[in-house]
Amino acid sequence: MSRLQQTEGLSDEQRELVLLVRQFVEEQIMPVATQLEHRDEYPQAIVDGMKEMGIFGLMIPEEYGGLGESLLTYALCVEEIARGWMSVSGIINTHFIVAYMILQHGTEEQKRRYLPRMATGEVRGAFSMSEPGCGSDVSAIKTKAVRGAEGEWTINGQKMWLTNGGSANLVAVLVKSDTGQPPHESVYRNMTTFLIDKEAGFGETAQGVTVPGKIDKMGYKGVDTTELVLDGHRTTSAQILGGEPGRGFYQMMDGVEVGRVNVAARGCGVARRAFELGIAYAQQRETFGKKIVDHQAVLFRLADMAVKVEAAHEMMVKAARKKDAGQRNDLEAGMAKYLASEYCSQVVEDSFRIHGGYGYSKEYEIERLYREAPMLLIGEGTADIQRMIIGRRLVEDYALKG
C-alpha cells in the first residue's frame, strides 16, 4: 500500500491531484532539476506548468478562483514537489503564506483585489519579517511606517531573506508603526503588515521600493532570495492587511504556521528522495565481493533512514490536519518543522555516506540534496526557536494545578 493510500480522509479528487503533481514532478522537474540548480537558473518552464495545473490557487477558495483545497492536500503536494527539487516548493511557499494571510485577515476589498489573480499566478506573493540585524528576534525590527495626513503612510527600512523577492509582485511586509499603544504593554501591538505592490524584477521595482539583487547561497538555488530596501515608500491605510494597524505580528505568526507545515513537508520530500537514492545505490554498488546493501552496517543505516522518513511524514500530516480543523496548531507545526528538518538533515547525510566518494561528485543528485537540507534547519524559524515554542506550549498544557 502506498503512502498516499495510507493517508486517511482524502477524497478521490484529492488523491488524483497529488498523483497528478507526482507525475508532473517526475516528468517535468526531476530530469532538469540538477542542471538548473547548478546554473542557479530560475525554473520558468516549471512555474508555467504549475500555473496551468492551478497549483498557485491550490488553497485559495473557489469563490476567488482557486481550487479550495485543504492544507493537508497542499502539504502532500509540496512533499512531492520537494522530492523533485526543493527550490520549486519554496516558490509556492511564500505565495501561499501571503494568500492565506489575506484570506484570514484581509478586508473583503483586499480579498477581491488579490486572491483571484493569486489563484492564476498572475500575482505572486512574498512575505518579509526578517532584517539584517534581527534574525529570529522579530521584536527588534527597525523598518518603520510613519502615519501622515488623510490615511497616508511613509515606510523606510531594509528587509532581508525574501524568498521570491525578485519574482513576486506583491510583498506582505511587517513594520513598526505608531498605533498609540504604550511600548511597555506589548511591543508586538506596535507592528503592522502592509501589502506592497511592485513590479517583478530587480532594481527599483516601485516608487521607494528596491530589490538589490539575488543573494548567492550555498544551496536552495534557482529560487530568488533577496533583500528589500524601502526608502520613502508612500502608501495608504487601504494597504494595511485587515485595514487596521497594530495587528501585523499576530497576522504574520498565523501565516508562519502554514509556512512551518510547508517546511516540514519539504523536509519529508527531500528526505524521501535521499532515502530512495541511498537504497538504490546500495543495491548497485559492490565492495568486498558483495552488494553494500548486504553489509549489516549499511542495512541498519537504511532502516534508520526509513523510520525517520515515515515519522516526519506522520508528524507533518498531524500538524496540517489540526490547522485544517481550525484548531490552534503552533505546537504541532513547531514539532513537525523541527522533526522533519532535523531528520531530513540526518537522512541526507546517511545517504551521502552510503554513496561514499561518489556522493561528493556533482554528477550525483545526493550532492545537491546535501547542500539543500541545511536551509530547512533555519527556514521559518531555527531549530532552537521551534524548541522554545514547543517547550513553552508543553509547560502551558501541563501546568501544575493548585
Catalytic residues: 380
Q: Which residues, including other chains, have CB under 8 Å from residue 97's CB and lie 6 or more apart?
A: 125, 127, 172, 255, 256, 258, 259, 262
Phi, psi torsion values for 306, nearest 5 degrees: -65, -40
What is the 3-class SS of 47-78, one letter each residue?
HHHHHHHCHHHCCCCHHHCCCCCCHHHHHHHH
Contact yes or no for 126/197 (Cβ under 8 A): no
Q: What is the enclosing helix (H) or strand (E) of 197? A: strand 191-197
Q: What angle do CA 207, 211, 213 make, to 5 degrees?
A: 150
Length reported for the chain: 402
CA 297/CA 300 separation, integer angstroms: 5
Q: What is the enclosing helix (H) or strand (E) of 127? A: strand 125-128
How many of the other CB atoms lie within 10 Å of CB of 182? 8
Q: What is the enclosing helix (H) or strand (E) of 286? A: strand 286-287
CA 223/CA 82 separation, integer angstroms: 13
How many of the other CB atoms lie within 10 Å of CB of 180? 9
End-to-end, the C-alpha distance of the chain in Å comes to: 49
The number of helix segments (H) and strand segments (E) in the chain equals: 12, 10
